[in-house]
């Protein structure tokens, strides 16, 4: 029998709503990065592991295993958590509280961390209340369900992406190229219950976004 995939949820510091508890499953390992332990409280879960230099919040007394990082380091707290999980055999990682907030540089750092995980062979998802981010890599096609998503956007992360194919959308592509200086892949829409994506080279950030129309 195939061993079950080890799953983890990483909670970073951007405040999340209780609705984000939908991404948690029984048996998930919960890792809180620095002030991310506050998100654990919001979601009603106890972290299994705390990681951080605790410069943005005091170190809590939770009883959880804790890795205290130095203030001066190369890895962000979230990057260190991602590396730890990849090295410990986790095959599926969801990052919450890693997007938005007051620091655009932190969001960009989180996107880079997600790419690190994806290139390490980890199924990776970043999510907030209005969007989900995934990664499309050569040899790892994606099939995405339409559900209640309004827009599907693609952005190359490593220069030029070649051999891009996408079907089930209003603007299908076949063996196309994406470049970082022209947003050809923005704001596509589903025309089928599923969209299928693949690429021959490069790395692509895939965003699913809810409608921006007022409720």
Report how far residue 80's alpha carbon sits from residue 33's, in angstroms, rounded to the nearest whole number. 9
Predicted pLDDT at 60: 64
Predicted confidence (pLDDT) at residue 88 exceeds the cutoff of 80: yes
Pair type for strands 173-178 and 204-209: unpaired
Predicted pLDDT at 6: 95
Structural domains in the chain, sorted by start: 7-129 (3.40.50.10240), 135-209 (2.60.120.320)
Report pLDDT digits (tens) over 149-187.
999 999 999 999 999 999 999 999 999 999 999 999 999
Predicted pLDDT at 65: 84
Report pLDDT digits (tens) over 102-129.
889 999 999 999 999 999 999 999 999 9
Whole-angstrom distance between the N-terminal and C-terminal Cα of the chain?
47
């Amino acid at each position: 029998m195939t061993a079950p995939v080890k799953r983890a949820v990483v909670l970073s510091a951007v405040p999340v709503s209780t609705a984000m508890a939908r991404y948690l499953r029984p048996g998930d390992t919960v890792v809180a990065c620095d002030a991310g332990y506050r998100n654990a409280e919001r979601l009603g879960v106890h972290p299994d592991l705390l990681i951080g230099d605790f410069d943005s919040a005091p170190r809590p007394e939770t009883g959880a295993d804790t890795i205290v990082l130095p203030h001066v380091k190369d890895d962000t707290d979230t990057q260190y958590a991602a590396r730890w999980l990849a090295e410990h055999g986790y095959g599926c990682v969801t990052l919450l509280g890693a997007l938005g907030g007051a620091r655009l540089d932190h969001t960009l750092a989180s996107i880079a961390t997600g790419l690190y995980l994806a290139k390490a062979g980890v199924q990776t998802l970043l999510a907030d209340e209005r969007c989900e981010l995934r990664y499309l890599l050569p040899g790892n096609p994606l099939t995405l369900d339409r559900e209640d998503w309004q827009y599907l956007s693609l952005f190359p992360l490593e220069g030029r992406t070649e051999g891009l194919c996408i079907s089930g959308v209003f603007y299908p592509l076949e063996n196309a190229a994406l470049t970082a200086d022209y947003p050809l892949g923005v704001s596509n829409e589903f025309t089928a219950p599923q969209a299928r994506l693949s690429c021959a080279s490069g790395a692509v950030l895939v965003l699913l976004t809810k409608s921006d129309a007022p409720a």
